[in-house]
Every structure is written in structure tokens, then in C-alpha cells.
Amino acid sequence: GSGLRVTELGAGTGLLAIRLASLGAIVTATDQRGMLGLIVRNIAMNRRRLLTPSSSVRLDVEAEELDWEEPPAHLPPTDLVIGSDLIYDDRYHASLLRILLRYAEVGVRSVLAWEQRKPRQEAAFLQQAEEMGLRHKTLADHTRSRDASFAHIDNLGAGSEPRFLVVEFGMQGSQQPINHSDCPI
């Protein structure tokens, strides 16, 4: 999406942010201070790799600290907030939801994706979102079979079926329907 401003929460390595930037988005990869060095190094490495004299790729991505427990007065301006695998630790659910709510209050949608690991805690996360005034819509719910080569990972045996969810968040009572069809990414 050329020119779409995207903020990634909990960017980790910055891989998703870098990929979106390579597609033309203007991306702010956010995480806690301790992760910023890794993100900055990965951005620099990918700029060297992708930005050759013959390349038409732009890589408009920057790293910025965002501590959900102590967010700044002004969050990075954005058109879309994204996050991947952010809800595995329920100690941070309320803080994450407060960030999503602050963006929703100014009309910014958020899309979170995760592999379902703790269905009860994840259902509680969605319930807490509703109680805070956020509505949510499941955009994708995908189950994939694992073959025997993955049997050693996460104690999942062959044939177990991990479930992946993509959920969009917006304001309850908002006149703007949650609709992802206009999002170019």
C-alpha cells in the first residue's frame, strides 16, 4: 500500500515492518527499548540488501520505543495498527487494549494476528476488549495440519492442528463499519 502509514506493535525483529515497507507502506516498528537495537540492525541490513542502484524499492521504516505499560502522551500517527503474536501473556492484555483503544478513539483500526495457544485467555482478551469499548471482527480463522516434521515443536504431535486468527479492532458505536476491503496491504 503506497503511502499507507502503519504502526507495528511489539515488532520484535522488525521482519513484518520491513516487509510492509518494501511493499510501499510507511512503517513505524515499535517495541520496548531493549528490542530497538535488533530492529534498527535489521532495518539497516535490509536497506543495504534491498536498496541497490537499480532497485525501485523504498524502505520507509523506522524503529520507535513504545512501552504499553507507560505509553507516551502522543502515539505515532498512523492509518493502521498491526501486531502479531502479542496476546500470549495475559499480564499485558489490559495495557495492549488501552493502546488499541487510544488509536480506535481517533478512528484508527488495529489488526492483530496470533496462533491460538490459550483459548480461554484469548476469549477473555476479546471480552475485555468489548468491556473497554472496542468491538472486534474475525477476519481470518485458519486451521492447518502439522506433519510429523513439526512433532518436536511446542510438544505438538503429528496431525495436531494449530489455529491462526486475524482479528480487527475498532470503536464500539462508531459509524464507520469495520471493513478491511479498502486496505491495500
- Beta carbons of 17 and 11 less than 8 angstroms apart: yes
Which residues on neighbouring strands pair with residue 110, listed in sequence order? 81, 169
Q: Say yes or no to pLDDT of 179 above 90.
A: no
* Amino acid letter, residue 60: D
Residue ranges covered by each domain of the chain:
1-84, 112-174
Q: Say yes or no to pLDDT of 185 above 90.
A: no
**pLDDT attached to residue 170:** 94
Q: pLDDT band at 94, cuts 50/70/90?
A: very high
pLDDT tens track for 148-162: 555 555 554 445 688
Q: What's the longest Cα–Cα distance across the chain?
A: 52
* Higher-confidence position of 21 and 172: 21
Q: Say yes or no to pLDDT of 1 above 90.
A: no
- Taking Cα atoms as reference points, which of 145, 164, 144 lies closest to residue 84? 164
**pLDDT attached to residue 140:** 93
3-state secondary structure of 15: helix
Say which CATH class 1-84 falls into: alpha beta
